[in-house]
Amino acid sequence: MKSVALLGAGLISLLAVSDSLALDDIVRQQIERRATEAVIWGMPAVNTDLMFQAFRKAGGEANQIALWSRLPSWKNQTLTPNPDTVYLIPFFDTKSTGPMVLEFPPADTGSITANIDNVWQVALEDAGPAGADKGAGGKYLILPPGYSKKVPAGYIPLRSDTFTGYALIRSTPKTGSEEDVAKAVAYGKRVKLYPLSTASKPQKTIFVDVVDDLFDATIPYDAAYFVSLDRVVQSEPWLQRDRAMIDPLKSLGIEKGKAFKPDGDVNEALSAGARAAQVWLEYQRQHIFAPYFESSRWFVPALPEGIQAQSDNFAKADSYTTDSRAITYSMGYVGIKHLGAGQFYIMSVRDKAGDLLDGTRRYRLTVPANAPARQYWSATVYDANTHGFIRNLERFSRASNTPGLKRNGDGSVDINFGPVAPPDGETNWIPTMTGQRFEVLFRLYGPEKPLFDKSWVLPDIEAVQ
């Protein structure tokens, strides 16, 4: 009888709550909550879709390759892109063509670091000297979901559980000179993309030069986010692990086979939910990551469980790291099969004193001698709000292969950050924007053991005024 009495009291309380809240308010709150969770869950796929939509706006289509024919400018508004390399991004779609071949050249006149991902940015494989072909070149065969035919000899098969995806290809110039960049572009254009059905006489690979286009793939934290999410739901099969999202998305108006047409009130609720997700993600980025070096402000911008899941397609049965992958893919892109083999990243959003990096102030980073990178290292500045290049600035990084970079007598390098160049000149200076927060990503290509055993340590960024 006691339990019945408690239940009755609970019902009375519930009725009292429902009397005090309008039904419309309850429905709106539910939409907002589900919208927030949908943003977090869908982040890597929406990230991919936004890049592909930017490519289409520049004149490209599926099964073609986006090419930056020079080092990228601020118009490359992908998330934390690398301004010191030549970019190529093949976007593949196996739904109508069947298996697609992505062919890489041997590392003879150049070097490629490449990662091949499905639409959820789960790594299918790495390519190039640090990938499955080990620099010998190779034909990677991207297979559509459920493909059961025999794979021909001579291919590296990649089984994808989605129809679409992309590869991030960096063709590394020896230096940032125009001549070396042109050589890296020519080498990158030896990559080929074509259907397996045309392999006996491959059709010509189409490269679309987007270097002068505003290639905006930054994340919109409003109702536009759900337009991208709907495109993914409509075009891709539901994965078994994601079926629990079917009903929540339906309540937002996203349902396979039906048009997404939210009215004004729903759009407002979707935008509110997206903004809540943005606030939550920003808080997590500032607090969740452990220091890479002891008592350091530098961190790897991905949690270990997230790195593992994106590399093995969530093979761990009792883990589904939707939160950690959202945090990472809200500020960057690409899944890497073997992180640390071809490249490694550490990020900082605070100075040595623990204050957020402020574009109004001046800072210095001293990169010690003998940085553990066989190819090069670089320090790059991004807008802390969008995680893209700061718009309308002319440069974003300094790297060990930057022509004319000044080195100290002990081999170390001082990198300066600030809204104006320091008294000793612009050579080692990266500009920032007054009144705007920024973040710094430090890259090492061809990382070596002293980075991982931490016998080489990158010191914190220090304020100098």
* Cα–Cα distance for residue pair 118/129, rounded to 1 Å: 21
CA atoms lying within 13 Å on the CB side of residue 24:
2
Q: Is it the case that residue 2 has pLDDT exceeding 80?
A: no
CA-CA distance, 211 to 232, in Å (whole number)? Answer: 26
Please name which of 370, 338, 361 lies closest in space to residue 420, comparing C-alpha atoms. 361
How confident is the model over 104-123, as pLDDT tens digits?
Answer: 999 999 999 999 999 999 99
Given a contact cutoff of 8 angstroms between Cβ atoms, the answer to whether 276 and 34 are in contact is no
What per-residue confidence (pLDDT) applies to 120? 98
Residue 168: phi and psi, rounded to 5, are: -100, 115
CA trace torsion 123, 125, 130, 134 (10° rounding): 180
pTM for this model (two decimals): 0.93
> Under a CB-based contact definition with an 8 Å cutoff, are residues 376 and 449 in contact?
no
Average pLDDT of span 231-250: 97
User: Domains (ranges, CATH) in the chain?
Assistant: 20-52+219-284 (1.10.3360.10), 59-212 (2.60.40.1610), 288-463 (2.60.120.600)
Find out whether 437 and 359 touch, Cβ atoms under 8 Å.
Answer: yes
pLDDT band at 209 (very low <50, low <70, confident <90, very high): very high
Q: Return d(Cα 110, Cα 186) in angstroms, integer.
A: 9
Q: How far is 337 from 127, CA to CA, in rounded Å?
A: 10
pLDDT at 6: 43
> Of 270, 331, 272, 283, which Cα lies nearest the Cα of 306?
331
pLDDT tens readout for residues 352-391: 999 999 999 999 999 999 999 999 999 999 999 999 999 9
